[in-house]
Amino acid sequence: MDLERAPRETSLGPSIHAELSELDVLAEANRCLNCYDAPCTRACPTHIDVASFIQKIGTGNLKGSARVIMQANPMGASCARVCPTEDLCEGACVYADDDRPIRIGDLQRYATDWLVKSGVDLFQPGRATGKNIAIVGSGPAGLSATRELRRLGHAVTIFDANPALGGLNTYGIVPFRLPMDVALWEAQQVLKLGVDVHTGVSVGDDVAPSELIARFDAVILACGMGSVPPLGIPGEDLDGVWDALEFIERAKCGDGIRAPGPSVAVIGAGNTAIDALTCAKRLGAPRVTMYYRRGESDMTAYPFEYDFAKHEGVEFRWYCTPIRMLGEGPMVRAVEFVRTAPGRPSGTLARPLPAAIPGSEFVVEAQTVIRATGQSRLSDLIGGFGLAQSHGIVAVDETLRTSHPKVFAAGDCIFAKGSREAMVVEAAEQGKTAAASAHRMLCQAPAAITQSSVAQ
Ligand SMILES: Cc1cc2nc3c(=O)[nH]c(=O)nc-3n(C[C@H](O)[C@H](O)[C@H](O)COP(=O)(O)OP(=O)(O)OC[C@H]3O[C@@H](n4cnc5c(N)ncnc54)[C@H](O)[C@@H]3O)c2cc1C
Ligand code: SF4
């Protein structure tokens, strides 16, 4: 990757991750009971052998520890920072019942930080198979698939619309949770295996999906999701009204947002809303408020994210929805809301829509308004490949094969709303699965990565 083309990150204040002393690390590592049939490993979507990497930290074998992590999870360094561990490995730890689970995420960060600083390369490409595979999208799913395919000996060509690789790891996740240099390091580790890269190339616009299907032996679609859809209310086109993803990206890359104004309104209550809120706060806005049409118990952000936003000084308003934005010249200056009441239970809707309360309108001042109400789907791109889809979610079988026999899909583009949010660790695992399935199709053999593709 041409690192000159990578964006330059702006500091948005200290990391949310505490520094661990060597003493803390050893004390924590020595608490691990090395459980039989370890529940933490089962709870990790990439099935990292947690007890093994922790035991290696305990004996000072940091290279071995990092290898256990990165072998199972090509995004192991970013996952150490962004995984909702309370819901995954740490939530399954036998000590979780006492509210003192082993700090698996922190220990994983310790081992992978060592790897980043050491300059050691853990993996090598496999023996060339003569097969050539296209990857559309270089986020966690695309990079994970690429790494596995290179270790199996397939040639890989990545196409990404962005100037730099990494997808949301590079551009979307706030720097105080995941610094850009970690995301770029992870991408660089994959590229070191030898990959043909076309950045700034949008498949569907600059290159036709049919061309990829014709030119390559297989295609893995890992294009993620799209922008935040409009709210559909008057005034949304005023300056100062942002899509949350664009706001976070511009804040992270230091591109154009320096002072969001004294009062910022964020619409939505998911994890992206929390990231936009805390970003605005760290950009210096004194008053940052989240507005949500449902109640506190309905918010979809993780509890630890909500606690973090409260700690950063964000304010919260429940049961209200915006009905129009008010401007002064081209700039937004206020938002009109109406109060809402919980919707009546309905047989068809899992979460009934709240109803507006007539006459309860109120106006709040805001110089920046951020829409954080979910992401749209890339239906046109999926349609361009001629794939079966349900409202922009690519239909796949359990091997992640799509309705086209040469095309597989992984990551957010196959994410269907369920109990959990879309996650980096799920995208990484799906990238591995799609790579193994493409390999099986091309070589009529299971994906067995030989020991020679692991540097000793
Ligand atoms: C604000 C925010 C915060 C998040 N925080 C967390 C977190 O703390 N923890 C966590 O686990 N998850 C988090 N997530 C979710 C996580 O980032 C995603 O689940 C994950 O990045 C999905 O990986 P992906 O590879 O499927 O897609 P992406 O990371 O979205 O990558 C898709 C790539 O495809 C490229 N692409 C799209 N269309 C085209 C095209 N036509 N041609 C070429 N390239 C294309 C894009 O440029 C992009 O690089 C967060 C998401 C957001 C939006
Ligand atoms: S990748 Fe995430 S879920 Fe898996 S062990 Fe590491 S921190 Fe836990």
Residues with CB under 6 A from ligand 2: 44, 46, 48, 50, 73, 79-80, 83, 85, 88-89, 104-105, 108, 425
Are 236 and 424 a contacting pair, CB within 8 Å? no
CATH 3.50.50.60 intervals, the chain: 132-161+200-226+376-453, 241-371
Residue closest via CA to ligand 1's atom 17 equals 168
Which candidate, 283, 356, 360, places its Cα nearest to that of 314?
283
Does 45 sit in the ligand 1 pocket, CB within 6 Å? no
What's at 58, amino acid-wise? G
The whole-angstrom distance between residue 365's C-alpha and the CA centroid of its chain comes to 32
Residue 293 Cα to chain centre, angstroms: 25
- Quote the CATH superfamily of domain 241-371: FAD/NAD(P)-binding domain (3.50.50.60)
pLDDT digits (tens, 9 = 90+) for 236-268: 999 999 999 999 999 988 776 667 889 999 999
The count of other CB atoms within 10 Å of the CB of residue 37 is 6
From 48, 177, 302, the mutation candidate for ligand 2 (largest count of ligand atoms within 8 A of CB) is: 48
Helices (H) and strands (E) in the chain, counts: 16, 16
Q: Which residues contact 158 (CB under 8 A, 6 or more apart)?
A: 134, 135, 138, 142, 146, 165, 195, 196, 197, 198, 199
pLDDT tens, N- to C-terminus, the chain (456 residues): 655 566 777 778 888 888 889 999 999 999 999 998 899 999 999 999 999 999 999 999 999 999 999 999 999 999 999 999 999 999 999 999 888 999 999 999 999 999 999 999 999 999 999 999 999 999 999 999 999 999 999 999 999 999 999 999 999 999 999 999 999 999 999 999 999 999 999 999 999 999 999 999 999 999 999 999 999 999 999 999 999 999 999 998 877 666 788 999 999 999 999 999 999 999 999 999 999 999 999 999 999 999 999 999 999 999 999 999 999 999 999 999 999 998 777 666 667 789 999 999 999 999 999 999 999 999 999 999 999 999 999 999 999 999 999 999 999 999 986 655 799 999 999 999 999 999 999 998 777 766 555 554
Q: Structure tokens of 181?
A: 């240099």
What is the number of other CB atoms lying within 10 angstroms of the CB of residue 329?
7
Nearest CA to ligand 2 atom 8: 89
Residue having the nearest C-alpha atom to atom 13 of ligand 1: 423
Alpha carbon of 73 to ligand 2 centroid (Å)? 9
Contact at 8 Å (CB) between 87 and 32? no
Specify the CATH number of the domain 3-118.
Answer: 1.10.1060.10
Q: Which pLDDT tens digit goes with each residue over 325-356?
A: 999 999 999 999 999 998 777 666 667 789 99
Residue linked to tokens 């706030």: 174
CA 316 – CA 296 distance, rounded (Å):
9
Rounded distance from Cα 428 to ligand 2 centre (Å): 11
- Name the pTM for this structure: 0.94
3-class secondary structure, 101: coil
- A 10 A CB-CB count for 364 gives 18
Residues 6+ apart with CB under 8 A from 162: 138, 170, 171, 199, 200
Q: Which atom of ligand 2 is nearest to the CA of 40?
A: 5
* Beta carbon of 80 within 6 Å of any ligand 1 atom: no
E strands, 137-267, in order: 155-160, 196-199, 218-221, 241-243, 263-267
Taking the domain 132-161+200-226+376-453, which CATH number applies?
3.50.50.60
pLDDT given at position 347? 63
Q: Residue 290: CB within 6 Å of ligand 1? A: no
**Every domain range in the chain assigned CATH 1.10.1060.10:** 3-118
Question: Which residues, 6 or more positions from 216, have their beta carbon under 8 angstroms from its beta carbon?
Answer: 132, 133, 134, 157, 406
pLDDT digits (tens, 9 = 90+) for 400-444: 999 999 999 999 999 986 655 799 999 999 999 999 999 999 998
Q: What is the C-alpha separation between 335 and 363, in angstroms, rounded?
A: 6
Cα–ligand 1 centroid distance for 456 (angstroms) = 32
